[in-house]
């Protein structure tokens, strides 16, 4: 594994109106790769960093497989033209991003490394508060399908993922946040992970999707938990009739209130969670008109 680190001097950041924001998000990891969603991820990460006065740590990971080719007899070799192309792309991305970030009012650093994508993100996420990544697969496809990579990150990392909306519009962290609540441990983990960012939101709403059976953590308990963090939320409840209903209900409610992002637990394993959010996780990881803050 090879790694190159590029540091930019720290810069003082200011919240809107010159007031310091007491947010709990102080380090954001941005996953950099060459795809059409890179600009939206950068703009999303910058919006979050400004709102929270957070440091932006950028990592560009070239899959080790990008340098390797296989012959018909199972042999492995490295091609000089492949090495040159991959290295040239890394230089181009670095220069482009450096030029963009130098004009922004956030502190940042930039790392280039060659390794397994998921393992590197998980490792570097250990001491960050939020990971900004996207749905686009790596151009070499060595990372596997995007849904597979995001699923692996959810299961292995203990840091929430922030995924931009399909149209790439950067979120307004000071806008309205919507929490998808089903009473599961995963949903609770997502809320705890999101507290630092929820403190910046002007409004927090909770949409409780449930079966008729009593959930593990009632929505009123969630309201109490958030209030102890000085986060005052409104609770709305709906009954779940199907997995498709849940996904549609979440998106419809988010659009109706103009939610800046949706907080949800991913791949729940409880009986309630599997019924309500198992398919919803897969659906929204593939496509979502609303930015997601998701944790397992």
DSSP of 242-290? -HHHHHHHHHHHHHHHTEEEEEEE-S--SHHHIIIIIHHHHHHHH--SS
- The alpha carbon of 162 is separated from its chain's Cα centroid by a whole number of angstroms, namely 2
How confident is the model at residue 227, as a pLDDT? 96
Q: What's the domain range around 286?
A: 176-295
Ramachandran bin of 290, using left for φ above 0, alpha for ψ from -120 to 50, beta for the remaining angles: beta
Binned at pLDDT 50, 70 and 90, residue 21 comes out as: very low
Q: Look at residue 171 and tell me if it is in a domain.
A: no
Q: Look at residue 239 and tell me if it is in a domain.
A: yes
Mean pLDDT on 23-41: 91
* Shared-domain flag, residues 115 and 214: no
pTM for the whole structure: 0.83
> Considering only CA atoms, which of 173, 139, 159 is closest in space to residue 32?
139
* Shared-domain flag, residues 237 and 152: no
Residue 91 has pLDDT above 60, yes or no: yes
Q: What is the CATH number of the domain that holds 236?
A: 3.40.50.620
CA angle 2, 143, 267 (to 5 degrees): 120
Mean pLDDT on 54-59: 98
Q: Look at residue 221 and tell me if it is in a domain.
A: yes
Tell me the C-alpha distance between 250 and 189, whole Å: 19
* Shared-domain flag, residues 79 and 116: yes
Q: At which of 162, 185, 214 does a domain end?
A: 162
Number of domains comprising the chain: 2
Instruction: Choose the weakest-confidence range: 38-47, 70-79, 153-162, 201-210.
Output: 70-79
Q: Which two tokens stand for residue 225?
A: 């938990």
Length of the chain, in residues:
296
Tell me the C-alpha distance between 272 and 117, whole Å: 32
Q: Look at residue 20 and tell me if it is in a domain.
A: yes
* Shared-domain flag, residues 115 and 257: no
Binned at pLDDT 50, 70 and 90, residue 17 comes out as: very low
* Shared-domain flag, residues 216 and 107: no
- On average, the pLDDT of the chain sits at 82
* Shared-domain flag, residues 109 and 192: no
* Shared-domain flag, residues 182 and 270: yes
Binned at pLDDT 50, 70 and 90, residue 5 comes out as: low
Higher-confidence position of 72 and 257:
257
Q: Look at residue 278 and tell me if it is in a domain.
A: yes
* Shared-domain flag, residues 237 and 112: no
* Shared-domain flag, residues 22 and 158: yes
How confident is the model at residue 12, as a pLDDT? 35
How far, CA to CA in Å, does 129 sit from each of 15, 122, 212? 18, 12, 35
Binned at pLDDT 50, 70 and 90, residue 15 comes out as: very low
- The alpha carbon of 289 is separated from its chain's Cα centroid by a whole number of angstroms, namely 14
Residue 197 has pLDDT above 70, yes or no: yes
Cβ-proximal residues to 80 (8 Å cutoff; 6+ apart), any chain: none
Higher-confidence position of 17 and 185:
185
Higher-confidence position of 96 and 6:
96
Tell me the C-alpha distance between 236 and 171, whole Å: 23
* Shared-domain flag, residues 225 and 138: no
Q: Look at residue 146 and tell me if it is in a domain.
A: yes
How confident is the model at residue 9, as a pLDDT? 44
Tell me: the pLDDT tens digits for 212-249? 555 555 688 999 999 999 999 999 988 766 656 788 88
Q: Look at residue 270 and tell me if it is in a domain.
A: yes
Higher-confidence position of 276 and 162:
162
Ramachandran bin of 188, using left for φ above 0, alpha for ψ from -120 to 50, beta for the remaining angles: alpha
* Shared-domain flag, residues 147 and 32: yes
Mean pLDDT on 35-59: 95
Q: Look at residue 137 and tell me if it is in a domain.
A: yes
Instruction: Choose the weakest-confidence range: 35-39, 132-136, 143-147, 201-205.
Output: 143-147
User: Rounded to the nearest 5°, which phi and psi values hold at 25?
Assistant: -95, 115
* Shared-domain flag, residues 15 and 153: yes
DSSP secondary-structure letter at 167?
Answer: T
Q: At which of 131, 162, 193 does a domain end?
A: 162
Q: Which two tokens stand for residue 51?
A: 């709102």
> Considering only CA atoms, which of 127, 107, 93 is closest in space to residue 4?
93
How far, CA to CA in Å, does 252 sit from each of 16, 134, 178, 285, 290? 29, 22, 11, 17, 10
Tell me: the pLDDT tens digits for 92-121? 999 999 999 999 999 999 999 999 999 999
Tell me the C-alpha distance between 284 and 266, whole Å: 10
Mean pLDDT on 74-101: 81
Q: At which of 135, 162, 189 does a domain end?
A: 162
Instruction: Choose the weakest-confidence range: 11-20, 84-93, 233-242.
Output: 11-20
CA angle 182, 187, 191 (to 5 degrees): 125
Residue 199 has pLDDT above 70, yes or no: yes
In the three-class reduction of DSSP (H, G, I as helix; E, B as strand; rest coil), residue 2 is classed as: strand
């Amino acid at each position: 594994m090879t790694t190159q680190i590029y540091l930019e001097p720290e810069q003082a950041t200011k919240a809107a109106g010159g007031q310091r924001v007491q947010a709990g998000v102080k380090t954001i990891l941005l996953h950099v790769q060459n795809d059409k969603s890179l600009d939206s991820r950068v703009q999303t990460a910058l919006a979050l960093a400004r709102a929270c006065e957070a440091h932006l740590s950028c990592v560009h990971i070239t899959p080790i497989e990008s340098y390797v080719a296989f012959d018909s007899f199972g042999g492995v070799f490295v091609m000089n033209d492949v090495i040159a192309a991959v290295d040239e792309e890394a230089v181009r991305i670095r220069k482009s991003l450096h030029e963009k970030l130098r004009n922004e009012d956030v502190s940042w650093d930039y790392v280039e490394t060659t390794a397994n994508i998921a393992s590197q993100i998980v490792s570097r996420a250990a001491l960050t508060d939020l990971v900004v990544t996207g749905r686009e697969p790596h151009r070499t496809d060595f990372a596997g399908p995007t849904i597979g990579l995001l699923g692996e990150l959810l299961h292995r990392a203990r840091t929430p993922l922030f995924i931009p909306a399909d149209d790439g519009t950067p979120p307004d962290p000071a806008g309205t946040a919507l929490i998808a609540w089903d009473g599961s441990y995963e949903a609770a983990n997502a809320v705890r992970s999101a507290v630092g960012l929820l403190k910046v939101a002007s409004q927090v709403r909770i949409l409780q999707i449930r079966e008729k059976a009593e959930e593990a953590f009632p929505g009123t308990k969630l309201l109490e938990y958030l209030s102890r963090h000085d986060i005052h939320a409104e609770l709305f409840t709906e009954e779940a009739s199907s997995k498709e209903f849940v996904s549609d209900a979440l998106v419809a409610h988010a659009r109706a209130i103009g939610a800046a992002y949706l907080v949800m637990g991913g791949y729940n394993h409880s009986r309630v969670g599997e019924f309500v959010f198992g398919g919803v996780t897969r659906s929204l990881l593939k496509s979502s008109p609303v930015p997601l803050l998701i944790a397992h």
